[in-house]
Amino acid sequence: MKDAGFPSQTALSRVSGVPQPTINRIINKVAGTPEVSTLQKLATACDVNLQWLLDGTGPKFVREQNMYLHGDIVGAKPIADPSDPGFVHIRKVTLRLSAGIMGFRTEEGDDDGETISLNSSWLEKRGFKREYLIATDIKGQSMEPTLFDGDTIVINTADKTAVDGAVFAINYEGEAVVKRMSRDAGEWWLTSDNMDQRRFPRKLCRNMECIIVGRVVRKLSEQI
């Protein structure tokens, strides 16, 4: 609370939405373990990682988070070609997730050794850092006609802030999904672009059952 610049419990309560008496009980350790949903609100307000707030592991601040899991920094390491400084090469990977875990693991994709080449100036103009970018393939038809089965997407894992109408990679109950986020009735929802809502109904995105992995920032498709 102090690091985030809140002068009082009341100020933190106003921003986080957590009642001041609840904050007071947590600080003075006069209650049991708080609900994860309560800690998530406090973590968001203070701009710290929920996992750090829960058990003290991992990077403290959101800006320091980089694909963290069980004390290890893991992820796809883009390999730049020294002979062509104009491009950055990002290895395609498969996401491996666990329910309720903020971080993720990556494995080699089905196309062994394949990389995605991005223009360095494209990254610079958007402020992207290559160490936070990963590439993976779309599976299924839920995001058609925006994203087709087999399309390759680039995910910026440094951007985990929900935005209405933007597309994100999500850890949904331990499953890697790509959905468009929407705000409705005070809740965040995962929606599909496919018009067949009977096959692809929207799902509520709440608490540790729905964790943002990163924002989709680019796609590569063979669809015309």
Residue 216 lies in a domain: yes
Does 35 share its domain with 109? no
Residue 46's pLDDT is what? 84
Which H or E run contains 179? strand 175-184
Number of domains in the chain: 2
Does 192 share its domain with 87? yes
Residue 166 lies in a domain: yes
* Residue 109, domain extent: 72-220
137-152: pLDDT as tens digits: 999 999 998 899 999 9
Answer whether residue 17 shows pLDDT above 80.
yes
Does 194 share its domain with 93? yes
Does 31 share its domain with 115? no
Q: Which of 208, 210, 192 is nearest to 200 (CA)?
A: 192
Does 110 share its domain with 165? yes
Which H or E run contains 36? helix 36-46
Does 188 share its domain with 145? yes
Answer whether residue 56 shows pLDDT above 90.
no
Residue 59 lies in a domain: no
* Rounded Cα–Cα distance for residues 50 and 59 (Å): 10
Does 85 share its domain with 31? no
Which H or E run contains 203? strand 203-205
Exposed, middle or buried: residue 145 (CB in 10 Å: 0-12, 13-18, 19+)? Answer: exposed
Percent with pLDDT over 90 in the chain: 32
Average pLDDT score, the chain: 80
Answer whether residue 87 shows pLDDT above 50.
yes
Q: Residue 105: which CATH number?
A: 2.10.109.10
Return the SS3 of 89.
strand
Residue 2 lies in a domain: no
Exposed, middle or buried: residue 5 (CB in 10 Å: 0-12, 13-18, 19+)? Answer: exposed
Does 130 share its domain with 23? no
Does 32 share its domain with 111? no
Provide the b/e sequence for 174-184 (b: ≥16 CB within 10 Å): eebbbbbbbee
Q: Which of 100, 87, 74, 104 is nearest to 214 (CA)?
A: 104
Residue 63 lies in a domain: no
Return the SS3 of 127.
coil
Answer whether residue 29 shows pLDDT above 80.
yes
Does 43 share its domain with 94? no
For the segment 99-122, the average pLDDT, to the nearest whole number, is: 70
- Alpha carbon dihedral 110, 112, 116, 120, in 10-degree steps, equals 140
For the segment 34-55, the average pLDDT, to the nearest whole number, is: 80
Please answer whether residues 202 and 190 qualify as being in contact, where contact means their C-beta atoms are separated by less than 8 angstroms.
yes
Answer whether residue 102 shows pLDDT above 70.
no
176-215: pLDDT as tens digits: 899 999 999 899 999 999 989 899 999 999 888 899 999 9
* Rounded Cα–Cα distance for residues 73 and 65 (Å): 9
What Cα–Cα distance (Å) separates residue 194 from each residue in 118, 138, 189, 200?
A: 28, 14, 15, 7
Residue 57's pLDDT is what? 66
Residue 32 lies in a domain: yes
Answer whether residue 62 shows pLDDT above 90.
no
Best mean pLDDT range from 42-46, 121-125, 159-163? 159-163
Does 76 share its domain with 154? yes
The angle, 0 to 180 degrees and rounded to 10, between the axes of the packed helices 20-27 and 36-46 is 90
- Which is higher by pLDDT, 2 or 70? 2
* Rounded Cα–Cα distance for residues 173 and 179 (Å): 14
Does 34 share its domain with 125? no
Residue 57 lies in a domain: no
Residue 4 lies in a domain: no
123-139: pLDDT as tens digits: 888 899 888 999 999 99
